[in-house]
Amino acid sequence: MGQYVQVEDNVKIFVEDIGQGVPVIFLHGWPANHLMFEYQYTLLASHGYRCIGMDIRGFGKSDAPWESYSYDRMADDVRAVIDELHLENAALVGFSMGGAIASRYMSRHIGHGITRLLLAGAATPVFTRRPGIEYGMEPDEVTSQLIHATYENRPAMLNKLGLKFTKTKSNPGMLVWLGLLCYQASHHGTIKAAASLRDEDLRQDLAAIQIPTTVFHGQKDKIVEPELGELTAQSIAGSRIVRFEDSGHAMLFDEPEKFNEELLTFLDGMKMEYDPLNSVESQRSL
């Protein structure tokens, strides 16, 4: 079921609410929308989970204000959705820029409503290089290859990005579908969110995370280097890292079976805590 949640600055955020049970909130990457997780929604709903997919402002069906694309603002949007839907004891899953927003949410809102965190190919601790971190894109690369390229020719920029998105090119239909999701984003939202990717720093946010956290990262990632995944895991006390040896940035498309199995493993322990009467094995037999 789709609905809109109006947030503090009168922006309407689109939310898809599928299934019943333990809530799992999904934050998509730049510049896609919540539908990038549609295979996970179908899987998890059949295993007794409630999937909450939200379109980040500027993307998908959400409003696209001219300003306000900072991680703080987008983390506040997540809080508004959690409060409007009365979500408690939820898992938060963030992919790429969605992982960065999830990390800011955990710090800024002290993990309100969240008991487990999954960061998949997250743009953390930073997306661009800076003193103290020698991995990631150079800031001027983001400006030229993502921001200026979007000003000049957004389809061409998306096509070039798509070549780096997954390791395998054996499924061209999937890349076309992902491209169509990205075309639904607003032009200015795509640009201004890319500036946040370039400029934001999440090192202090990661250090503040105090709930069970799992990091997924493709070992052939050409967008967020594997070393950044390692740094992310090292920065979060007690976190666990799952390495996808045959994946690029989008491990959920390069190694879908492993991604889904590891996602269920991440969530199953949480389900037992949420409802001890649930049998993990019986849910998996559905």
Is-catalytic flag, 268?
no
* DSSP annotation string for 16-70: EEE-SSEEEEEEPPTT--GGGGHHHHHHHHTTTEEEEEEPPTTSTTS---SS--S
Residues 6 or more apart from 192 whose CB is under 8 A from it? 58, 67, 69
- Burial, 139: exposed, middle or buried (Cβ in 10 Å; 0-12, 13-18, 19+)? middle
Catalytic site includes residue 96: yes
Residue 103 has pLDDT above 60, yes or no: yes
pTM of the prediction? 0.94
From the candidates 62, 68, 96, 235, give the one annotated as an active-site residue. Answer: 96
- At residue 227, the pLDDT reads 98
Phi/psi for 94 (5° steps) reads -125, 130
Domain 2-284 sits in CATH at: 3.40.50.1820
Domains of the chain: which residue ranges?
2-284
Helix axes 97-108, 71-84, angle to 10 degrees: 70
217 is catalytic: no
Encode pLDDT of 186-230 as tens digits: 999 999 999 999 999 999 999 999 999 999 999 999 999 999 999
Q: Give the type of residue at 174.
A: M
State the catalytic residue, choosing from 63, 76, 221, 254. Answer: 221
Angle among Cα 201, 263, 232 to the nearest 5 degrees reads 20
